[in-house]
Structure 1
């Protein structure tokens, strides 16, 4: 049960003890996954030391709504508590959602997917721009943009990333692949237990086009032979006119080099 001395200290401030059944969850709670083992550890701690940080609630028609402290609330129920210490705040729906998200961000209770989903939900519900959302949660606009890019993954890929324990950098690298190839790539990455660097190299290899076989050089022997035959006939005409001439030829895989030697004067004449 809650330590009496702890309760006395809490009640001396702006904290009141509230029955658990009077507190309803925050619909803007960004956290979606709660580790059972972690909750049990927190419940054991609460049984021994009580709740050291009060929950934050706001008054609503028909009861109270949790603003921040979802994990502590769940652990308190596991611990068998009937009531929990709460701080009452006067906030609207937007502020309530903001406080829930900011508390989780500051405590690092969210995984990167929940953080991205929480940011997107706040922007969608309250019409915030990336810049406005960044200011609200104390992050740079570029950091918010990078988080939101992760939501370009379809739900099944996001779930596979979470279940596989992949990091945010793994998730960002995977965005380079076409959507239809991402799940298969994740299976390979998981089977090989790839680091971020290894995953980036693997994805780069998938994006490279298959090496095209080198086409064999196309020879134009028919046209060359026609030219050579024509040249030979022309040289025969020169020789028949009494002018000696010589045709030299060197041939490689790439070219044929022809050298024609002619005297500057006719035979028997001097310059």
Structure 2
């Protein structure tokens, strides 16, 4: 990262919000509407107190860090926003966005893991190099990435129910997807904290394999899980397209609906844009 010269030529500019495109490597995916509205109200009263950071792109400017402030500024009706233009490449831009969110603790543990994975895959970084760039130990990065061994459905349910990273780590001890879903359902329905969840999983693992549990003893798959399948699929498609775009592949997706169906048309060019 070009840290020594990063801010040497910084200059605060007032740039039209319409000239700023999103950062394709933005690790934060979840933005709470209520807190965004609160920030928009604050901006209306006091203005944008801290400039966002951008870098020049072929279409104008690309956001480096500060998407929450940019979204709130648009909600507040601002036509321009104070910015600091940085001389960074795409790798550094993604890293800055990730590091800023980590420092502000704006990311949930899933977004943090997905952000690290995106940077590693898109730019060919080793775990050790990624760890150095975000000021974490290699083991800490490895532990974060292990969380992505959980399926998108499991991760979605963890997030929707505001369960913790330690809940997720405990689930990694359960090998089969169906067993993980059953364990997760039990944890949610019984409101188990981390310690109780770990104790429950430990007891199950000491018994015979979960897959050998008599069918009557296994709970049927709850509608709680089934009704989220479409949203989980759409989130997975969106993440996949985002990674392709960040790698220079101009993939796109068009969505339409009929009375009974949701229709997705995905276009992937045979060569990079």
Q: TM-score, normalised by structure 1?
A: 0.72
Higher RCO, 1 vs 2 (CA within 8 Å, ≥6 residues apart)? 2
Deviation string, structure 1 residues 69-115 (Cα, Å, up to 9, x no partner): 11111011111111100000111111111111111111111000000
Partner of 1:61: 58
The correspondence for 2:181, drawn from 180, 183, 195, is 183
Secondary structure of 2:181's counterpart equals: helix
Partner of 2:152: 155
Partner of 2:164: 167
1:72 has 2:69 as partner: yes
The correspondence for 1:114, drawn from 102, 111, 120, is 111
Partner of 1:93: 90
Secondary structure of 1:52's counterpart equals: coil
Partner of 1:196: 194
The correspondence for 2:45, drawn from 37, 45, 48, is 48
RMSD: 1.3
Partner of 1:103: 100
Distance 1:208 1:162 in 2: 28
Larger Rg computed on CA atoms = 1
Task: Point out 4+ residue stretches in structure 1 off by more than 2 angstroms.
Answer: none
Deviation string, structure 1 residues 157-179 (Cα, Å, up to 9, x no partner): 00011001100011001100122
Partner of 1:228: none
How far does residue 40 in structure 1 lie from its aligned partner after superposition? 0.9
- Pairs within 5 Å for 1:3-18: 14-18=11-15
Structure 1 stretches of 5 or more lacking a match? 1-12, 212-271
How far does residue 180 in structure 1 lie from its aligned partner after superposition? 2.1
Deviation string, structure 1 residues 135-160 (Cα, Å, up to 9, x no partner): 00011111111100100001000001
- The 8 Å contact of residues 160 and 183 in structure 1, kept in 2 or not, is answered as no
Distance 2:183 2:42 in 1: 41
Secondary structure of 2:55's counterpart equals: strand
Secondary structure of 1:27's counterpart equals: coil
The correspondence for 1:146, drawn from 143, 151, 171, is 143
Structure 2 stretches of 5 or more lacking a match? 1-9, 210-273
Distance 1:203 1:129 in 2: 33
For the structure 1 residues 76 and 209, does the alpha-carbon distance in structure 2 shift closer, same or farther, using more than 3 Å as the test?
same
- The 8 Å contact of residues 44 and 79 in structure 1, kept in 2 or not, is answered as yes
Partner of 1:37: 34
Distance 1:62 1:84 in 2: 17
Distance 1:44 1:205 in 2: 50
Distance 1:130 1:54 in 2: 31
Distance 1:48 1:108 in 2: 25
Distance 1:206 1:48 in 2: 55
Distance 1:101 1:89 in 2: 16
Q: TM-score, normalised by structure 2?
A: 0.71
